[in-house]
Amino acid sequence: MPDRGGGPTGPRMRVGRPSRRVRTLLMTLGVLAVLAMAFVMFAGFWTDWLWYRSVKYSSVFTTTLWTKIGLFFVFGLLMAVAVGVNIWLAHRLRPPLSAMSMEQQSLDRYRMSVAPYKKWILLGLTSLVGLIAGASAAGQWRTWLMWVNGVPFDQKDPQFHLDVSFYAFDLPWYRFMLGFGFAAAILSLIAAALTHYLYGGLRVTSPGARATAAATGHLSVLLGIFVTLKAVAYWLDRYGLAVKSSDFKATGNWTGLRYVDANAYLPAKTILFCIAVICALLFFATLWRRTWQLPVIGFGLMVLSAILIGGLYPAIVQKFQVQPNEQAKEAPYVEKNLKATRDAYGITGTEVTEYAGTSTTEDKTKLRDDADGAASIRLLDPNVVSPTFQQLQQVRNYYAFPSNLDVDRYSKDGKDQDTVIGLRELNLQGIPKSNWINNHFRYTHGFGVVAAKGTNADAEGRPEFTEYDLPSKGDLGDYQQRIYYGEKTSQYSIVGGPQKEIDYSDDTGEKTTSYKGKSGVNLSNPVNRAAYAVAFGEPQILYSGAIGEGSRILYNRTPKERVEAVAPWLTIDGDAYPAVVGDKIEWIVDAYTTTNGYPYASRTTLGDTTADSLTAANNQRAVVAQQNQVNYIRNSVKATVDAYTGKVTLYEWDTKDPVLKTWKKAFPGTVKPKGDIPQALMDHLRYPQDLFKVQRELLTRYHVKDAETFLSGSEVWQVPDDPTNKSGNAVPPYYLSMKMPGEQSQAFSLTTTLTPNGRDNLSAFMSVNAEAGTSDYGKINILKLPTGRTVDGPKRVQSQFNSEPSIAESIRLLRGGDSEVEYGNLLTVPLDGGLLYVEPVYVRGGGLKYPLLRKVLVTYGGATAFEDTLGQALDKVFGAEGSTVEPPDEDETKPPPTSSDPTVQEALDDAQKAFDDGQEALKKGDWEAYGTAQKDLEDALERAEDAQAAADKKAGSGDKAGDSGDKNTEESGKPSSSPSSSKSPDSG
C-alpha cells in the first residue's frame, strides 16, 4: 500500500465562486475588522503607557511588559516546540505499510483527509498550545522577578537549614517550571500517541504487535521524562513540607512539619524519589530492549509504593505513635511554629504583662485626676459623625465626606491634639444637572479640609471644628485646597482646556478655575484622543469642542488605585487617610510586602483577618487582594498621593525587609529611601490598622510561648464582636492617645480588647505605639487579665449600660418621638490596675438628620455614670462630687425598693424580678432569656411610670403634684428623667 502521507486523487468538483465585487467587499470588510481590532488593542496599550508616563513610573510599565512578553514567547515557544517535535517525530517514525485490518482501513480515510493539510494542522495545534502556555507563563511575572532578584533573609529554616529566601523566592519558580514540564510531557505524550495511532504505529484491534518498535521507543522516552519529573516533584515535596498547610486539631490552621511529616512523609518522599528515578531509567532502557514489561512493572511498583509509603505508612504513624502521646510528640514542632510565626508577622517583641483588672486604690476620688492624664479620651467617633460633618460643613450638594472619617494628630501651641478629619470631596450625585459636560468638565474636584477636636463637643453636641467653612479656614494654615484625587473620585475628568471648571461658591456667587497642575495625559494629540475615545467607550472625546489646547484627562484617581498601579507588587491597606502636610493635602497609604512561603509560619487570609464591623459596611475600607493567603507581612512602604497633582511617592519604611529589597532590585528607582521622608509628613504617619488586625488575630493564639500551653488551647483568645452595633462583626481597633501602665506620657496608640474563646469576659487589652518617628513605634503591649477572676469585656460592659434601669430609662426618653440613639466607639483605658470604659452616645432626631453628642457613658470598677459631659461622668464614677454609684457587695442582699402606692409597688417588684432574671441570664450566657428579661423590665418600668403618674394626678396637680411625684420616685427607686438622681436596684 502507498505511504500514509498521500492524499486523495481524482476529479475535483467545481464550486461556484462569488463575484469580484462581492469578494472585494468581503476583503475590505475583513481588513477593516482586523484594523479595528488592532486599534482597540493598541488603544489599551497606548493609554496605559501614557498614564504610567504621566505619573513618572514608566519603568514599572516597561519592566512588567517586557517580563510578560519574554515569558510569553519563551514558554510559548518551548511548549509549541515540544508538542510539534513529538508530532513530527511520531509522523516520521510511522510504519511504511499498514496492517490488513478493518481498523487500519477506517484510519486510512482519516489519513487521506488530513494529508493535504498536515502542515497547517501541525502549525495550528502547536500555535494553540503555545498561546495557552505563553499566556499562563506571562501570569507568572511576579514569580520570575522574585526568583531572579531574590535577596537572602539571612534566616534558616529549622528542618533543612536553607535560607528562607529559598522557600519565598526559589521554590515557587521551581514549582512553576515543574508544572510546565508536566504539561509539556503530557501534551507531547498525547499528541505523539494519537499520531502513532493515526499512522499505524499503535494498533488496538489489528493482528500482531500492538505497537511498532519505533512507537514503543518514542513513547517510552516520553513516559521516562514524565516519571523523571515526578521524581523531581517528590524531591521538591520534601522542602514543600516546611510550607505545607494542614488542619491540626489542636491548633486549627497549621503550616510546617509535624511529627508525622518529619518521621513518615519526609522519608517516604525520599524513598519515592529513588523509586521514581529507577522507574524512569527502566523507561529509557526501552530504547534498547523494545519492551514495556520492566518499565510497566516499575511504574506499578511506584504507584503501589506511593499508596503504601506515602499514604498508609504516615496514617499508621499518626494513629499509633502520635495520637496516644500527641503533646509530647508535637511539642518540638510547635516550638518551631511558634517562633517562625512570631518572626514572620513581626510580633516577636510583643510584651505580655500581667494586669490585675481591678483597682488597688480604695479611695477612688484620688483617681479622678489620673483619669484625665491616662488618655485623651476621644468622644468624637469618626465612624458616626460623618453625617454631622456633612450637614454642617457640606455647603453644597456636590460635595460629600466619606462615611468613615479619619483620626490624626495636629499640633497647636506645641501640644498635640487628636483630630477627626475629612475632605470635602466631589459628589457627582449631588450636582444640579447631570450630563457629560457637567460630569467630566465642570464638576471636577472637591474643595477643602474639615477637622474637629476629637476630645470635645460644644454645648449642642456638635463637633468643635478647628478647620471649617468654604474655602476652609482655621488652624491648619495656608495650603492647596482643591482635591482632584480622593477616595470618592472614581470618574475621569478632562481639565485645563477651554471649558472652565466650577471651583466653589460663596456669598458673591460661583467661582471658576482651570487646572494648573501637570497631572494626567495631554489630549491635544488626536491619536491620544482617539485612543481614549476607544478605551473609555466615549466617542465624544474624539470630537468634542470642549477639548482643546491644554486639555488633560485625569483618571485612576483614588489613592488606592494609584499606589497599586505604580507598585503592583504591594498589598494596600484598607484605609488611606488625608493629612495637611506643609502647603498641600497628601493622602497617606500604608502598603505591605507579603509572601506565603515563610517556613513553619501559619497562614492567614487577609480578607478574613482584616474584616470588622466597619469593613462590612464600607467597601472602601477593604484591604486590596483580600483573598490572598500570606504567612509573612511587613509594612515596608509608606506611600503618598498629592490630592491636587496626583503625584505618587513611595517611601521605604522597613529598611530590613528582604521582600522589599527584592522588589527594589526588580524595579530600581521606584522607592525612595526612608531618610527622604520630610518631618512634616513623618508627624502624620501612623501604625496601620490592617497590619494591627492581622497581628491581633495571630496573637489570640501566639501570645503564649510554650508548646504545652499552645497545644492545650486553654489560653486561646478571640477578637470580640462590636457591641455598639448589631453587625455581628469584629470590633475595629481604635486610635487613641493614651498612657500605658509604667509609661510617663501619652502616646498615639492603636488599641483593642480580646476575650476568651467563646466567652464575653476580658482576657487582654492590646495596644501598639502608633506614633511614627518615636523609639517605641511598633511596640506591642498586651495586658493579660487574670483567668481566675471575671473581668467584664466590651459586650458585658455594653450589656450593663443597657440593663442599668436609670440609664435604660434615660435612653428611652432620648428615643422619644422619632429620635434614634447611636452608640459611639467603646474605648478602653487601663487605669490603676482597673479598666475605664468610655462610650459617647449620640442622638439623631427631632427634625435633625445628623447625630449630636448628648451623653457620655463611663464605667470603672463596677461604678457607672451616664452624664452630659465626660467630666461630669468621671466626677460621678470617681466620687469627686460625692455622687458616685458604688458597686454592691457580691454577698450583700438588698431588699427590693418600696412604694406607698400598691400598683406602683407591684410594677417595681416585677421590674426587680425582671432585672434579676436578666442578670442571671447574663451570667449563664443565655441571650434569649436575657432579651426576654429586658423586655419584661421595660414593660414593668412603663407600668410603674404610668401608675405613678395616675397617683400623682389623683393626689393633686401642678407643682404640688410634681413635687409629690418626684418624692415618691426617689423613695421608690424608680428612675427619673435625670439619671444622676437615681440608683438602680443593683448598680453593679
DSSP string, 760-819: -B--EEEEEE-BTTSTTTT-EEEEEPPSSS--B-HHHHHHHHHH-HHHHHHHHHHT-TT-
Q: What is the per-residue pLDDT across 27-45, written as a single tens digit (0 to 9) for each?
A: 888 888 888 788 788 888 9
pTM score of the predicted model: 0.83
Q: Of residues 227 and 14, which shows the higher confidence score?
A: 227
| Measured distance CA(258)–CA(337) in Å, rounded | 9
- What are 181's three cell numbers? 514540564
Per-residue confidence (pLDDT) for residue 209, from 0 to 100: 64
- Are 932 and 865 within 8 A, CB to CB? no
Q: What is the per-residue pLDDT across 290-345, written as a single tens digit (0 to 9) for each?
A: 777 787 888 888 888 888 888 888 889 888 888 888 888 888 999 999 999 999 99
For 449-498, list the strands marked E by DSSP: 449-457, 463-468, 473-474, 482-483, 493-495
Is 921 a residue whose pLDDT tops 80? no
Residue 256, helix vs strand vs coil: coil
Per-residue confidence (pLDDT) for residue 99, from 0 to 100: 59
Q: What is the per-residue pLDDT across 153-189, written as a single tens digit (0 to 9) for each?
A: 999 999 999 999 999 999 999 999 999 999 999 999 9
User: In sequence order, which residues have a C-beta less than 8 Å from that of residue 130 and are 6 or more positions away?
Assistant: 76, 77, 79, 80
Per-residue confidence (pLDDT) for residue 3, from 0 to 100: 43
Q: What is the per-residue pLDDT across 566-613, written as a single tens digit (0 to 9) for each?
A: 999 999 998 999 999 999 999 999 999 999 999 999 999 888 888 887
- Mean pLDDT, residues 336-365: 89
> Worst-scoring range by mean pLDDT, 139-143, 244-248, 334-338?
244-248
- Beta-bridge partner residues of 843: 821, 852
Q: Does residue 482 come out as left (phi exceeding 0), alpha (psi in the -120 to 50 range) or beta?
A: beta
Q: Which phi and psi (to 5°) does residue 125 adopt?
A: -65, -45
Per-residue confidence (pLDDT) for residue 969, from 0 to 100: 37
Is 887 a residue whose pLDDT tops 70? no
Sign of CA dihedral 73, 74, 75, 81: positive
Q: With pLDDT > 90 as the criterion, what percentage of the chain qualifies?
A: 45
Give me the sheet containing 521-522, strands edge to edge: 493-495, 552-554, 521-522
Is 986 a residue whose pLDDT tops 60? no
Is 931 a residue whose pLDDT tops 80? no
For residue 63, the tally of other CB atoms under 10 A from its CB is 16
- Of the candidates 99, 292, 291, which has an alpha carbon nearest to the alpha carbon of residue 208? 99
Per-residue confidence (pLDDT) for residue 144, from 0 to 100: 96
Q: Tell me the CA end-to-end span of the chain in Å, nearest whole number.
A: 104
Is 204 a residue whose pLDDT tops 80? no
Q: Of residues 232 and 33, which shows the higher confidence score?
A: 232
What does the mean pLDDT of the chain come to? 84
Per-residue confidence (pLDDT) for residue 147, from 0 to 100: 96
- Mean pLDDT, residues 5-32: 63
- C-alpha pair distances (Å), 708 with each of 250, 664, 805, 914: 11, 41, 46, 44
- C-alpha pair distances (Å), 902 with each of 92, 605, 899, 909: 110, 61, 7, 10
Per-residue confidence (pLDDT) for residue 269, from 0 to 100: 92
Per-residue confidence (pLDDT) for residue 450, from 0 to 100: 95
> Worst-scoring range by mean pLDDT, 120-124, 327-331, 593-597, 946-950?
946-950
- C-alpha pair distances (Å), 915 with each of 127, 399, 906, 907, 935: 78, 48, 14, 12, 10
Q: Of residues 482 and 976, which shows the higher confidence score?
A: 482
Q: What is the per-residue pLDDT across 370-399, written as a single tens digit (0 to 9) for each?
A: 888 888 898 999 989 999 999 899 888 889
Is 72 a residue whose pLDDT tops 80? yes
- Mean pLDDT, residues 939-950: 74
The reply to whether omega before 756 is within 30° of 0 (cis) is: no
Q: How confident is the model at residue 924 (pLDDT cuts 50, 70, 90)?
A: low
Per-residue confidence (pLDDT) for residue 130, from 0 to 100: 94
Per-residue confidence (pLDDT) for residue 964, from 0 to 100: 37
